[in-house]
Structure 1
Amino acid sequence: MNAETVDTVPATIGLLQLEQQLIDAGVPFAVATVIRVAPPASTHVGAQALVESDGTLHGWIGGGCSQAIVIEAARQAIRLGQPRRVRISNEPAPPDPEVEAHAMPCASNGAMELFIQPTVPPPLVVVFGATPTAHEACVLARRMGLRASPAADTARAGGPRFDAAVLDDAGASFALIATQGDGDEDALEAALRSRVGAVLLIASRRKAERLRETMRARGIADSRLAALHAPAGPAIHAHTPQEIALGAVAGLVALRHEREEAAAAAQAAVPQATVATEAVPPLAPCEMPEAPAAEAGRYVNPVCGMSVEIATAKHVVVYGGRKVYFCCDCCKAEFERAPARYLAAEPDHETRAGENRAEER
């Protein structure tokens, strides 16, 4: 390791730490890396600098002659959300559509080329529902690099159960409806009345068609219903909440990449098109809202996640000394095929156990 490398190690470690801090804070930035140098030049291949969206530069990529060019190119990369190559040189070279060329302003007349990689906050998906599937989807979406947050249920505040304005204020790109029988229509209407780009509904095709008709009756136009994707993801023959969530998040990932490809094509045609460059607020934990007090005496079906009223439940199985309630005979039959699997995935709520004991008495 030579002296020059030793000198650059602390700065590199500092930039890596700063990158992680900005990622955690949801702040957009770009990293510029020198990939080619022609003498005379005061930089070297591998030199790096981090540029924030306001133009603040951390690190070092050479003398002051080229800094202004690099900063503006980095800010443009952040605005477009796309990487770019930048050449700063007075050397004659054939045009290259993949390289942004600038004249070298320094009297030394050297040359350098950089690769600029922006990092912008990923799109936000708001997950509706207080079901096991909703929780699993929120956690898994974050693992897939999305920002995911549970939707606020305002039923106990006396207002509408879900509010479209909340999604718009948060800048949500996607809505995932995982209510599974508990507030489906209210959640779907709120999502469709917001400006989210896509609404994914966890439901069968038959149920989705019924909900589409309900939305039309509530005044949702067909042009807006085109944003509805139901079922939410590819058919993977899911049964458990984890499997259902996996299929839905696969649908989110596919839609995200489709949107990014379309945005890249649009930006190529309209260079002034931009993406958000503001810092995003921190996410709340993936804890689904608890059922309101009015839900006392109800039980969450471990197969489909639907809330079942204990007093009127017609489909009941006694397993391991406890009663398990289902919304229909199909869910009951599915549970009986593999009861341990479903109970292992079921949240252990003390209130539920209390409700069981009270009902059994």
Structure 2
Amino acid sequence: MTSEHGRSLDEMAADLTDRRRPFARATVVRAQPPTSARAGDQALVMADGEMFGFVGGQCAVESVRQSAVDSIAAGEGVLLRVLPEGAETYPETSGARVAVNPCLSGGALEIFIQPVVPTPIIQVVGDKPIALAIVDQARLLGWAVSRVDPEAAGVWEFTEPHGVVASIIASHGGDEAAAIRTALDHHVPFVGLVASVRRGATVLDAMDLSVTDRACVHTPVGLDIGARTPPEIALSVLAAVVAAIRRDGLAGTGAPEDAPAVVEPRREVDPICGMTVMVSADTIEYDDESGSHWFCCKGCRDTFVARSAGGLQAAQ
């Protein structure tokens, strides 16, 4: 199956993954005639709703686009059941979502949508046992890890400048302030300093941080679990990072510089069938004296135009 510029969807997915661009893969797992899709048909959906590939007609496409965008934002897969109006519905359960489309010509679809979100990156400054334990445990979580030599803490550059969710300084001395400053300058949302309460406060007080920057720095870093050994301390540190990710939805340091800004897609209601559609450059639109209107398909637009023309003639 091909996508943009003749590339296969697999090639496109590999490229997006390499460039750390979030997307979702939608796969038809069941199709009931007379739907045009077949089991195994696939599409890739970007975070802004742009789609490549084929998973059915326009009515099914709108449901897939919206579910995929929501799936990417939540970081969770979903089984989408697309049903024509009047069909026997399925109960909505965890991990499943039902879309009843009035304009669907018949048949039903089940489509599994799997988000592919860039792996979080954690930077660890230090070469002592606690730093090494943090590195080992972060890898067990499936994160990408970059360990920084504490001797270069003041001049180091991120080997992966995009997607860093946390920088942990566990050098136990050295130029910790320079390491913190570098992380803040790269807009890392969670910066942790492994230190005692007194030493951590001393380091931060000497830096004259802004209120915003100070809120990003955590010291002593880690949840209070009574940790004593390096592995236990590493566990408490990573637990604090995970808690921040889940609680605050930490994003990394951003998409690559060549990535277009992701804007939450605009959603409008088709005035004919009542379906919610995502507004993009290729969304069917019709403008009249009452304003702009968007439609799931040409049939709905033509019906709207005909009704508008009929109402205008009656008024005359």
- Superposition TM-score tier, normalisation by shorter sequence: 0.5 to 0.7
Between the two proteins, the alignment pairs up a number of residues equal to 242
Find the counterpart in structure 2 of residue 51 from structure 1. Answer: 44
Equivalent pair of 1:198/1:229 in contact (CA under 8 Å): yes
Find the counterpart in structure 2 of residue 80 from structure 1. Answer: 73
Question: TM-score, normalization: structure 1?
Answer: 0.52
Residue in structure 2 matching 1:220, options 209, 214, 218: 209
Q: Which runs of 5 or more structure 2 residues have no equivalent in the other structure?
A: 1-8, 259-316
Find the counterpart in structure 1 of residue 198 from structure 2. Answer: 206
Find the counterpart in structure 1 of residue 119 from structure 2. Answer: 122
Residue in structure 2 matching 1:234, options 223, 231, 236: 223
Cα distance in 2 between the residues matched to 1:40 and 1:112: 10
Find the counterpart in structure 2 of residue 348 from structure 1. Answer: none
**2:144 corresponds to which letter in structure 1?**
R
Cα distance in 1 between the residues matched to 2:124 and 2:217: 14
Cα 1:18–1:127 shift into 2, 3 Å: same
Find the counterpart in structure 1 of residue 171 from structure 2. Answer: 179
Aligned ranges 1:131-146 → 2 under 5 Å: 131-146=128-143
Find the counterpart in structure 1 of residue 85 from structure 2. Answer: 91
Question: TM-score, normalization: structure 2?
Answer: 0.58
Cα distance, 1:78 vs. partner? 6.5
Cα distance in 2 between the residues matched to 1:279 and 1:139: 30
Equivalent pair of 2:72/2:116 in contact (CA under 8 Å): no
Cα distance in 1 between the residues matched to 2:195 and 2:106: 64
Residue in structure 2 matching 1:30, options 24, 33, 38: 24
User: RMSD in angstroms over aligned alpha carbons?
Assistant: 4.5
Aligned ranges 1:1-361 → 2 under 5 Å: 28-34=22-28, 39-41=33-35, 47=40, 49=42, 51=44, 53=46, 55-57=51-53, 61=55, 63=56, 68-69=61-62, 72-73=65-66, 76-77=69-70, 80-83=73-76, 84=78, 86-92=80-86, 99=97, 101=99, 103=101, 108-151=105-148, 155=152, 161-162=154-155, 166=158, 169-214=161-206, 218-260=207-249
**2:113 corresponds to which letter in structure 1?**
I
Cα distance in 1 between the residues matched to 2:255 and 2:65: 14
Cα distance, 1:109 vs. partner? 2.3
Cα distance in 2 between the residues matched to 1:31 and 1:110: 22
Cα distance, 1:121 vs. partner? 0.9
Cα distance, 1:279 vs. partner? 11
Q: Which runs of 5 or more structure 1 residues have no equivalent in the other structure?
A: 1-14, 264-274, 281-361
Cα distance in 2 between the residues matched to 1:50 and 1:31: 6
Q: Please list the CA deviations of residues 261-317 of structure 1 after superposition, one character each: whole Å capped at 9, or x if unmatched.
A: x88xxxxxxxxxxx967699xxxxxxxxxxxxxxxxxxxxxxxxxxxxxxxxxxxxx
Cα distance, 1:153 vs. partner? 5.7
Cα distance, 1:24 vs. partner? 7.9
Find the counterpart in structure 2 of residue 329 from structure 1. Answer: none
Cα 1:167–1:277 shift into 2, 3 Å: closer
Deviates more, 1:126-135 or 1:29-38: 29-38
Cα distance in 2 between the residues matched to 1:166 and 1:55: 32
Cα distance in 2 between the residues matched to 1:213 and 1:191: 17
Q: Secondary structure at the match of 2:164?
A: coil
Larger Rg: 1
Higher strand fraction (1 or 2): 2
Cα 1:169–1:23 shift into 2, 3 Å: closer
**1:91 corresponds to which letter in structure 2?**
E
